[in-house]
């Protein structure tokens, strides 16, 4: 066993879309239908994504597949089954016959034309609201290479979400995670939908607990490459890691401050794991957040910069506590069950909501807790073992690691608890961290 690995293992143990029948709540506005994103029990807005005609068949099918997946996991839409479509797509081309789409229950319809010329792609996409007739309410054109096809489709779907809700979707963002590769635990990155996975670390050691910087340019992680659990940073595309903190014992569980200048981390340099804040540039200690004989670990910095959530066994089993980011008294916030770990803050504007792993029955599940109201929402139940939640950039979905219950891998579920989790990547994974929104 590597030096301090027993202590880290003990600490890590401590840490360690089903649509409704009614349509989404909407309100009309001069610039279009606005989906109410605040309703806890809203329905899903029925939208159709037929495969384009007058387009390259394989490329058109891929656009429809990507767009259907994006809108299906957005948390707002019910993507209709193409087998139900009644419209003559060849006659409609880039338009719609509203009556035909109304008959299948569509409220919205996406039409597009995609032309592949050599390595180049031209994509024209249109959004229709059936109630407004055959004039498109949103039109965008995109150009790029064939390799950009998924990226261009994600960009279009983000515009569709913005049209309906006033906020962009999370399509095009990426998720960091840890997987076993060639006998080592490597930090990996994958598109949020499971496409284009690649390795960030390439050493033959144990690398764990990746954490994106706020801007998405760097990833912090803990590695045993020098026989001690030290903290490193590396560019999001990989490269040579930079050692940031190598204090005696644990240097684990990084969480960046919202401005990217500081990192909350667990250090055991004085013999017991406690939460500290260090400089993101040189690793120097700035503030000690906890000083307790219990194990304090798994820090998570709030989006407003004012609070740090963490896990402590100071009251027996592991529970979630919140302390001021400048130091001060910690308050326990988790109340359910005897085992609660891996807190993560919602980035939704104005929210004070944590997601975390709980064991209040026989298995591990994901729940959210509104710190203002005390309301708890169960994201998973009776479907395998679910751990390490991480929020989408807009706070509308949660990614997590699952074993069993449909197969091990990374799953995404609506953050309101009103939908079924979707597997985006298969395999044994840990250390889930959803990166920032793509640049629009």
DSSP-assigned letters across all residues of 325-356: TTS---EE---SSS-EEEEEE--STT--EEEE
pLDDT at 36 (0 to 100): 61
Residue 37 pLDDT grade (very low, low, confident, very high; cuts 50, 70, 90): low
173-434, CATH topology level:
Neuraminidase (2.120.10)
H-run or E-run covering 67:
helix 57-73
Q: Class for domain 26-165, per CATH?
A: alpha beta
pLDDT at 3 (0 to 100): 44
Cα separation, 281 vs 412, in Å, equals 33
Q: What is the pLDDT of residues 97-131, one digit of tens each?
A: 999 999 999 999 999 999 999 999 999 999 999 99
Neighbouring CB atoms inside 10 A of 405's CB total 16
Q: What is the pLDDT of residues 300-357, one digit of tens each?
A: 999 999 999 999 999 999 999 999 999 989 999 999 989 999 999 999 988 999 999 9
pLDDT at 99 (0 to 100): 98
Cα separation, 372 vs 23, in Å, equals 29
Residue among 238, 208, 243 at smallest CA distance from 222: 208
- Whether 294 has a pLDDT exceeding 90, the answer reads yes
Rounded mean pLDDT of 21-31? Answer: 38
Q: Tell me where in the chain the CATH 2.120.10.30 domain(s) lie.
A: 173-434
Residue among 40, 99, 34, 12 at smallest CA distance from 418: 40
Cα separation, 306 vs 13, in Å, equals 27
Residue 34 pLDDT grade (very low, low, confident, very high; cuts 50, 70, 90): low
Q: Does residue 36 contact residue 61 with C-beta atoms inside 8 Å?
A: no
Is the alpha carbon torsion for 72, 74, 78, 84 positive or negative? negative
Cα separation, 153 vs 165, in Å, equals 18
Q: What is the pLDDT of residues 138-166, one digit of tens each?
A: 999 999 999 999 999 999 999 999 999 99
Cα separation, 109 vs 222, in Å, equals 46
Cα separation, 251 vs 119, in Å, equals 46
Cα separation, 175 vs 173, in Å, equals 7
Q: Look over the chain and give the mean of its residue pLDDT values, rounded to a whole number.
A: 91
Structure token digits, residue 390: 């991480």
Sheet with strand 365-370: strands edge to edge = 340-345, 353-358, 365-370, 376-378
Q: Which of the 8 DSSP states describes residue 30?
A: T
Q: Tell me where in the chain the CATH 3.40.50.10070 domain(s) lie.
A: 26-165
Which neighbouring-strand residues pair with 367? 356, 378
> What are the distances in angstroms from CA 61 to CA 20, 108, 192?
27, 19, 20
pLDDT at 24 (0 to 100): 41
Q: Return all residues near 272 (Cβ < 8 A) that are at least 6 apart.
A: 292, 293, 294, 295
Q: Which of the 8 DSSP states describes residue 227?
A: S
Residue among 135, 119, 113 at smallest CA distance from 64: 113
- At residue 136's C-alpha, the angle toward residues 130 and 138, to 5°, is 115
Rounded mean pLDDT of 70-85? Answer: 96
């Amino acid at each position: 066993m590597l030096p301090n690995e027993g202590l880290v293992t003990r600490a890590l143990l401590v840490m360690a879309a089903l649509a409704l029948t009614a349509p989404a709540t909407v309100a009309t506005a001069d610039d279009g239908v606005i989906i109410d994103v605040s309703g806890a029990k809203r329905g899903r807005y029925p939208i159709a994504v037929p495969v384009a005609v007058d387009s390259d068949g394989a490329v058109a099918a891929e656009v429809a597949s990507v767009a259907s997946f994006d809108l299906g996991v957005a948390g707002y839409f019910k993507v209709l089954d193409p087998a139900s479509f009644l419209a003559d797509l060849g006659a409609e081309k880039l338009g719609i016959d509203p009556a035909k789409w109304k008959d299948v229950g569509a409220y919205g319809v996406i039409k597009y034309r995609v032309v592949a010329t050599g390595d180049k792609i031209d994509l024209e996409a249109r959004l229709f609201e059936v109630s407004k007739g055959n004039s498109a309410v949103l039109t965008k054109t995109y150009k790029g290479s064939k390799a950009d096809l998924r990226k261009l489709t994600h960009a279009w779907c983000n515009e569709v979400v913005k049209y309906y809700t006033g906020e962009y979707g999370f399509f095009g963002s990426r998720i960091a995670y840890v997987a076993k590769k060639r006998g080592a635990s490597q930090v990996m990155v994958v598109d949020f939908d499971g496409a284009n996975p690649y390795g960030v670390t390439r050493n033959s050691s144990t690398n764990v607990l990746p954490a994106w910087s706020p801007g998405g340019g760097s990833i912090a992680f803990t590695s045993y490459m020098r026989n001690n659990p030290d903290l490193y940073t590396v560019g999001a595309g990989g490269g040579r890691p930079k050692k940031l903190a190598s204090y005696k014992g644990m240097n684990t569980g990084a969480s960046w401050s919202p401005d990217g200048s500081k990192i909350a981390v667990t250090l055991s340099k004085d013999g017991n794991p406690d939460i500290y804040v260090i400089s993101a540039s040189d690793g120097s200690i700035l503030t000690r957040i906890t000083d307790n004989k219990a194990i304090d670990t798994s820090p998570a910095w709030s989006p407003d910069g004012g609070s740090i959530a963490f896990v402590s066994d100071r009251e027996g089993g592991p529970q979630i506590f919140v302390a001021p980011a400048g130091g001060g008294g910690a308050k326990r916030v988790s109340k359910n069950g005897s085992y609660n770990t891996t807190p993560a803050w919602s980035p939704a504007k104005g929210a004070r909501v944590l997601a975390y792993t709980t064991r209040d029955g026989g298995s591990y599940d994901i729940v959210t807790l509104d710190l203002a109201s005390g309301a708890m929402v169960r994201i998973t139940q009776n479907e395998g073992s679910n751990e390490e939640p991480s929020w989408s950039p807009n706070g509308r979905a949660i990614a997590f690691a699952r074993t069993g219950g449909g197969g091990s891998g990374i799953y995404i579920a609506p953050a309101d608890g009103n939908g079924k989790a979707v597997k985006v990547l298969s395999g044994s994974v840990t250390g889930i961290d959803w990166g920032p929104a793509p640049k629009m």
